[in-house]
């Protein structure tokens, strides 16, 4: 049995595809996942399974579209194990996420595409936006006082937009802390 972070794309955004986290948890347990918990309503789930991540992804995507009234075209699921999430955090650019009073820092998680496929489509505004490629992610940072001038929002018009989900740095580090707490709690002494 392994513990996974599940990132759901396209739910509870802009008043669309609303899912109550208690209901989501119930349905995930009904289809066989254990130790299910959610973190904030933006589609962050932690669960335990003995299934391969590809099967977890397929099973959750199927459940979402059959149990909820959703625009299924924008729904996607990303499954990450502890090691993968730790690597994303460990391999961040220098000082990324360290100046929350000055920068908004986000991780753009790529689903079934890689950074090399999409990096050239970004058009960061000099002095406002900075992006860096990572393994399965793009690190994006914008100067807080100039965020209204950021061009990062324009990615929503690009064809690959449906293959990514975005989480702010605080959410990502909190998810890792939850995983670490679970591992500490479940590890034999």
Looking at every residue in the chain, the average pLDDT score rounds to 89
Q: What share of the chain is helix, strand, coil (3-state, %, to 5)?
A: 40, 30, 30
Q: Under CATH, to which class is 2-86+177-186 assigned?
A: alpha beta
Given this chain, do its domains 2-86+177-186 and 91-167 carry the same CATH topology? yes
In the chain, domain spans: 2-86+177-186, 91-167
**C-alpha–C-alpha distance, residues 146 and 112, integer Å:** 32
40-99 pLDDT per residue, tens: 888 899 999 999 999 999 999 999 988 888 776 778 999 999 999 999 999 999 999 888
**Residue among 171, 131, 132 nearest 151 (CA):** 131
- What number does CATH give the domain 91-167? 3.30.70.1260
Specify the pTM: 0.90
């Amino acid at each position: 049995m392994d513990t996974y972070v599940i990132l759901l794309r396209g739910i509870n955004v802009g008043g669309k595809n609303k899912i109550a986290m208690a209901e989501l948890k119930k349905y995930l347990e009904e289809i066989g996942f254990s130790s299910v918990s959610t973190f904030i309503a933006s589609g962050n789930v932690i669960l335990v399974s003995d299934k391969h991540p590809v099967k977890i992804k397929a099973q959750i995507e199927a459940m979402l579209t059959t149990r909820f009234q959703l625009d299924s075209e924008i729904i996607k699921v990303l499954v990450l194990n502890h090691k993968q999430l730790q690597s994303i955090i460990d391999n961040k650019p220098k000082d990324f996420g360290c100046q929350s009073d000055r920068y908004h820092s986000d991780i753009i998680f790529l689903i079934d595409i890689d950074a090399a496929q999409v990096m050239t489509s970004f058009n960061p505004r000099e002095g406002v936006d900075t992006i860096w490629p990572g393994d399965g992610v793009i690190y994006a940072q914008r100067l807080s006082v100039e965020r209204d001038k950021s061009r990062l929002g324009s990615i929503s018009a690009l064809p690959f937009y449906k293959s990514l989900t975005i989480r702010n740095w605080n959410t990502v580090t909190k998810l890792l802390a939850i995983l670490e707490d679970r591992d500490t709690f479940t590890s034999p002494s």
